[in-house]
Amino acid sequence: MCDSTAYLVIEGQESLLLEHIDFFESTGEEIRLVNIFGEEKTVKAKIKRLSLLDHKIIFEPSSD
């Protein structure tokens, strides 16, 4: 499978947000994540790093 795992950086550490991400979208100030099972999470964050090879999406909290 080519799905990704999302993490949120908290105090310098990567904390798991959601596995098996099918897609994510920006809804303005927030990011909406949806996995292959239909599970959804919304976080107030911005993309810090995206690694397609490692299937990782790293977010950091928005400063807004």
Q: pTM of the full predicted structure?
A: 0.88
- pLDDT for the residue 46: 93
**Closest to 42 measured CA to CA, from 51, 56, 32:** 32
pLDDT of residue 34: 96
CB atoms within 10 A of CB 15: 11
The residues spanned by each domain of the chain are: 4-61
Q: Mind listing the pLDDT tens digit of every residue in the chain (64 residues)?
A: 578 999 999 999 999 999 999 999 998 889 999 999 999 999 999 999 999 899 999 999 987 6
Would you state the pLDDT for residue 3? 84
For the sheet containing 31-35, what is the strand order?
A: 40-43, 31-35, 13-26, 4-10, 56-61, 45-51
Question: Which whole-number Å values give the CA distances from 8 to 12, 39, 47, in the listed order?
Answer: 9, 17, 9
